[in-house]
Structure 1
Amino acid sequence: MPHGLGLGTAGIAGLYTEVTDEQAYEAVSAAWQRGIRYYDTAPHYGLGVSERRLGAVLREHPREQYTLSTKVGRRLEPSSDGGDDLAHGFAVPATHRRVWDFTADGIRRTLDASLERLGVNRVDIVYLHDPDDHAEQAFREACPALEKLRSEGVVGAIGAGMNQAEMLTRFVRETDVDVVLCAGRYTLLDQSALTELLPAAVARGVSVVIGGAFNSGLLADPKPGATYDYAAVPPELLDRALRMQAVAERHGISLRAAALAFCAAHPAVTSVLVGARSAAEVHDCADQFATPVPAAFWQELRESGLLPAHAPVPAEDPS
């Protein structure tokens, strides 16, 4: 399973704004330089652009030295409609269209296409990608298909990646997943995964990867106009983030460092993914992840009501 800091690669595929091949190459190369060895991608990210760009860098390194995950559930089909993909969040040409497909055949075809774009013959982890509205097919068809791929050695581990905790808890309890990717639901601003998902993962021995540590931007740089869960931030959450930032500044750290440290502190969590679109952002995330957060910071957060007392923090026994 992946450990430590990982790189999420939606950003290098032009999430919201255009990113060049060169910028993407430099970002992934910087991640490797900083010792990051877990890379997560998906066909959805830039209609395959993320996988191609990531593969171009990783093929320069020995396959056994890194952990690679991609996702299935959105199959890409060629499209001649033209235009761009900004309706889905990516500043790339709309060369393909996404088709929801959690059938056994769709899973295998989608993974085969990903392997080709990445230039590898296997991935370490494959996640079901956002099966929110396709639960029945995901549990009935996709999970058995992933188990078969795992038994064949095409993938090392299987799981699901979602922006919610409830269905991920069901995957942990009812299926034979090895790992789940939970985005945005275990952060300084949202601990909903703490109620059931994380305890269930500990009980079942399932690894948890946390994505969205900054809640899509708010915790990275809280200010009016910031985004929270890919939308405009509600005023009360902006106020909460600004108060947290003031506490962080009093203790000589950044809110980014605290956000990453918090995600990594729970015993179920094996890795925290950060998204970056440039080498500078990668270096900043690596610096923040390596920054020790003083115990007095966590104490002040709790005393001011900004963090629940039962949420584990670094260097503290979570039991």
Structure 2
Amino acid sequence: MLRIELSGQDLALIRFAPQPAPLVELKLSLMMLRRQDSEQTFGRWRRELRQRLPVTTRPLWDLLTPYRGPAFLDPVSPDLPSGLDAVRTMPTSQVRACLEEMWAQREGQEPVPRWLRDLAQGDPATREQLCQSLQDAYQAVLGASWPRVTALHSAEYARYALNTAEHGVVGALTRLCAGSRLVDGVWEIDAPYRRQVASAGRGLLLLPTFHWTCAPLVADKAQDPLLMVYPAGPGMPLMPAAAGEDVLAPVLGNTRAHTLRLLGYPLSTSELAGHLGISLGAASTHAATLRAAGLIDTVRAGRAVRHERTALGTLLTGGVDLDRC
């Protein structure tokens, strides 16, 4: 079981990452690639990915196991370039400490590769080699599917915000991970391992991941808020969107995704039905569903009823509207 101690101050400092973190998603994707479970859903994805990973990514396999990887590989960053810069400039002492911890866990196994010893000593060329490996792995594993990761993250962000508004912070937390509970200031989450961490007034940063299917993971770095990464994906690999496909369609369905993009500006139900090419009743039903999810507002002005996106709806669409002309 994972147990996270949260004081009243910690609950007040809980934040949800506003966008996915490329290197965190990459590291967990590569760990998923190394696992052997869930073969029915991940088997084909693993086989195809192994074939297209370039040889420059080979050094990463000296660092990753199916369930572990050093913390210096996946700093939380809003985009890939800033993440790679964080890896590139991370103090050698931190990199060495992570490697020494990893070597201690693998004691008695294969000898440590020479390039990892150079990395631990702060060799600049070796550090650049590592960054190139990460960049090439990202392009092979996530590059084509990243728009879908971003859409799913926005949907999860909106879900958490709505749960917080309706059920409070504690209710929203316990709904992130099925079966979890807050007992006497401790968030208890079912996990196949035993670990207890204390936020100690630093707060908590929540980050969903869409390729990991195991229990949540916690990073505890001194002075930083605790980072809790939890699985929020569909339980299968994310495939790139087909040409012309709206990345929101797998999240909302085609018609509701289309509706949400149309409502960047107010439309009546009849106008919405006309743009969508559906009946008045169907348009009303879709609008009601989006309204219940907090993604649109419906306002009556005299005899007219008009629908428009909320801030959450705009977040989910990335501010992209459809041309209604």
Compute the TM-score of the two structures, normalised by the length of structure 2. Answer: 0.27
Ranked by relative contact order (alpha carbons within 8 Å, sequence separation 6 or more), the top structure is: 2
Q: Where is the helix percentage greater, Structure 1 or Structure 2?
A: 2
* Higher Rg of the two aligned structures: 2
Compute the TM-score of the two structures, normalised by the length of structure 1. Answer: 0.27
Q: Where is the strand percentage greater, Structure 1 or Structure 2?
A: 1
